[in-house]
Amino acid sequence: MVGGRGCLARGAIFTRRTSHVHRQSLPRRVRATVTLVDISWELAGMLNRRTVLAAPAAFAAAHALTPSAPVDAERVREALAAVVARSPDDLARDNDFWASIARAFDVDRSLVNFNNGGVSPTVATSLTAMKRHLDHTNTAPSKVLWTTLRPQREAVRQQLAHALGTSPDEVAFTRNASESLQTVQFGVDLARGDEVLANDQDYPRMINSFRQRERREGVVLKTIAIPTPCEDDDEVVRRYEAAITPRTRLILVSHVINLTGQVLPVTKIAALGRRRGVPVLVDGAHAFAHIPTPIDEIGADFYAASLHKWLFAPIGTGFLHVRRERIAEVWPMMAAHEGIESDIRKFEQIGTHPLAPLLAIAEALTFHETLGAERKLARLVHLRDSWARRLLENDRVRLHTSLKPGFSGGIATFEIEGVDTRDLYGWLWNERRILTSPVVRDDFSGLRVSPSVYTTMGEIERFCSSVEHVLEHGLPT
């Protein structure tokens, strides 16, 4: 399947029509699925990409088929036509539509998973593809890994770069955002006394990476404070600019703050870096496939993200984007041979490792593109508002995330006055089987809540009623 994809327009990726002869040779369940997907791709290709990037209803239906399910092409066409006519905000409130999307995930419904910002379940097609690639690998590992599967990486690289809005020659595969970020943090040449700039809400591992260079090499880490919540982009940029000195050599900035879901003005900060001659490294772990922004439009020197959060790719997948002119000046974390100093693939020299998760990124990308980035964000914002605005009706609830458009997406963090965050986290999990993420800091604390596209309104209700129970009765002592 990887080699059979072609790009018709930025942001829309389609599969080629499966031949009639090949289709008839497939098992019935697979043949039915292929037929439905073919229909969706055919119709999607005739539609304006700004109104529908592909065919989500048909795609979800294809994943939900049972061996005995008939292929109702007319029903699929009708569903597609209905979707095309609706805006992302309107569709975000259609719970029946999103129930069909949820069937693309195999999750445990005995619990409520509101920590998708930590790591997400893999969409079923991607999980199946990974298993298939693993099984194939195991038949003759050295032959399959290095002769068959390795060349297929380039097709996936092209597909990922297309979704990112950049060039394939600037995208390296990694295992997560931390590996991507540390490649740059440890790979840029810094001298004793050189300064690196971050904010006090950047991911702790990235702060610790700079701290290690402080201890080992005498580099100086400077941090600025970010308001919580923050609804003034210019103030954020002003704080970064005020902290730049003649010794500043690198700026780290989170596209989306992991603690609260706050979206930072990375495009403006990247422009600031260019203006002051300081490279900018963007931590996009919570942004890619969540907050639609083409990387080339951001204009940062480096951009890093995980793919097992909001893209729903297999766990242990990520990428590093490096502007072409910067590749040669960054050392890879694992040594690469001479002659590829300016090749993005030098950052992938990590020894023998499974290629199955990497190749299965293709199916996750197809799912994301089919669903549509704007539809996806609209649904995530709708879910966020559904629980956050309801809880805010109680004056003891404080939200550490702005709900204004553009300042956050599907993630938000709340606190209950007089209730210990860790105790609330423990009670929700132990008593109600609701999984969140506790945030405890000196300046604020709260529970980070991150539903996903497979989340039901029933689960939102279960969460809200549980928190309201605590608001009314408190936690047991």
Domain ranges of the chain: 2-85, 141-365, 374-473
Residue 83: is its pLDDT beyond 80? Answer: no
CA distance 197 to 177: 19
CA distance 66 to 146: 36
User: pLDDT confidence of 477, banded at 50, 70, 90?
Assistant: confident
Residue 234 class from Cβ within 10 Å (0-12 exposed, 13-18 middle, 19+ buried)?
exposed
- Average pLDDT of the residues in 254-259: 98
Residue 81: what pLDDT?
A: 61
Are 374 and 317 contacting, i.e. CB atoms less than 8 angstroms apart? no
Residue 372: is its pLDDT beyond 50? Answer: yes
Residue 46: is its pLDDT beyond 70? Answer: no
Residue 53: is its pLDDT beyond 50? Answer: no
Residue 452 class from Cβ within 10 Å (0-12 exposed, 13-18 middle, 19+ buried)?
buried
Residue 186 class from Cβ within 10 Å (0-12 exposed, 13-18 middle, 19+ buried)?
middle
The residue whose two tokens read 């309107």 is 90
Residue 124: is its pLDDT beyond 80? Answer: yes
User: pLDDT confidence of 78, banded at 50, 70, 90?
Assistant: low
Residue 239: is its pLDDT beyond 80? Answer: yes
**Least confident interval from 8-12, 121-125, 416-420:** 8-12
Residue 250: is its pLDDT beyond 60? Answer: yes
User: pLDDT confidence of 41, banded at 50, 70, 90?
Assistant: very low
Residue 21: what pLDDT?
A: 35
User: pLDDT confidence of 318, banded at 50, 70, 90?
Assistant: very high
Q: To the nearest whole percent, how much of the chain has pLDDT over 90? A: 81
Residue 323: is its pLDDT beyond 70? Answer: yes
Residue 66: what pLDDT?
A: 34
CA distance 72 to 70: 6
- List the structure tokens of 437: 């993420």
More confident residue, 86 or 85: 86
Alpha carbon distance, N-terminus to C-terminus of the chain: 56
Tell me whether strands 280-283 and 302-306 are parallel, antiparallel or unpaired: parallel
User: pLDDT confidence of 228, banded at 50, 70, 90?
Assistant: very high
Closest CA to 80 of 370, 362, 292: 370
Residue 67: what pLDDT?
A: 33
DSSP state of 147: I
Classify domain 141-365 by CATH architecture. Answer: 3-Layer(aba) Sandwich (3.40)
Coil, strand or helix at 128: helix
Residue 40: is its pLDDT beyond 80? Answer: no
Tell me whether strands 397-399 and 318-322 are parallel, antiparallel or unpaired: unpaired
- List the structure tokens of 56: 């989500």
Residue type, 285: A
Residue 14: is its pLDDT beyond 70? Answer: no
Which pLDDT tens digit goes with each residue over 185-197? 999 999 999 999 9
**Least confident interval from 12-26, 193-207, 399-413, 433-447:** 12-26
The residue count for the chain? 477
User: pLDDT confidence of 11, banded at 50, 70, 90?
Assistant: very low
Which pLDDT tens digit goes with each residue over 426-460? 999 999 999 999 999 999 999 999 999 999 999 99
Average pLDDT value over all residues in the chain: 87
Coil, strand or helix at 450: strand
Residue 34: what pLDDT?
A: 35
Residue 13: is its pLDDT beyond 80? Answer: no
DSSP state of 338: T
User: pLDDT confidence of 84, banded at 50, 70, 90?
Assistant: confident
Q: Do domains 141-365 and 374-473 have the same CATH topology?
A: no
Residue 370: what pLDDT?
A: 87
Residue 453: what pLDDT?
A: 97
Q: Quickly name the fold that domain 374-473 has.
A: Aspartate Aminotransferase, domain 1 (3.90.1150)
- List the structure tokens of 476: 């047991």
CA distance 477 to 336: 58
Residue 226: is its pLDDT beyond 60? Answer: yes
